[in-house]
Amino acid sequence: MKTTERVIPTLKNMKQVYENYTEEDHLVWEILFNRQINNLPMAATEAYLVGMEKVGFKNEVVPNFETTNDILKALTGWELVAVEGIVDDEVFFELMSNRKFPATTWLRNMEELDYLEEPDMFHDVFAHVPLLANQQFVDFLQALSAIGHKHAGDAYAIELLSRIYWFTVEFGLIRENEALRIYGAGILSSAGETAYSLSSEPTHHEFDVDKILETPFEKDSFQTCYFIIDSYQQLFDSIGEIQDKLNEKLKGKIMMN
């Protein structure tokens, strides 16, 4: 999929200053990487494991965005764009509709290894980037983001689209070889939720756009339910339905008012 690319003015001067990373930063990355990578061979989607090999992340050093971008651009046309933290909806969706993934450049400190209120570079890069090497997945991400950018000023529309994003890109499961595997970055960056999401404790639903749009999500705890896709093609093929269902709900809201 191709879009007209343009520079996002508010972010054009931001970059990862690699030489500013400290020994502690590299150590934090190494600890988090080693702790989680051992959980993933039997838990993560094959696309993530293949993507990890392609992007070449190592445990001993923080990834360099310039090197990673060279690889991603060659594979799928995507790249990382450095941001300070969470960006507003319009910028977030516009970036990704132009195949630019916003990623923070800071890492948590040693006292915050197990929990952060705001995603850091380990989540943004370790968990998200390997899937950016999968063409079907990024085609879905780009198309969903284009819908989000179109509705960026509508809080109700963004809430609904956030549920789609949350239960797919962040907390999605996929069925591979008759077993459940993880592709959601929110799970892939969490050792605890990796085990929990695949257990019998939460509820597992088949992928259903209507049901996702009606399901609020948990921000500060493990999810109570997860949605399962059968393939990344299924995910991409759902874009038309997502747009149609969103339009129906927006029209219904207008009529009620």
pTM given for the model: 0.91
CATH number of 9-256: 1.10.800.10
Query: Are the C-beta atoms of 101 and 95 separated by less than 8 Å?
Result: yes
pLDDT tens by residue, 43-57: 999 999 999 999 999
Mapped onto helix, strand or coil, the DSSP state of residue 70 is helix
Q: Distance between CA atoms of 5 and 241, rounded to whole angstroms?
A: 26
Count the neighbouring beta carbons within 10 Å of the beta carbon of residue 200: 6
Nearest CA to 207 out of 247, 171, 179, 252 is that of 171
Query: Are the C-beta atoms of 33 and 57 separated by less than 8 Å?
Result: yes
Nearest CA to 163 out of 206, 101, 224, 210 is that of 210
Nearest CA to 168 out of 117, 234, 248, 257 is that of 234
**Please, which pLDDT band fits residue 6 given cuts at 50, 70 and 90?**
very low
pLDDT tens by residue, 148-185: 999 988 999 999 999 999 999 999 999 999 999 999 99
Nearest CA to 85 out of 113, 31, 124 is that of 124
- pLDDT of 8 higher than 50: no
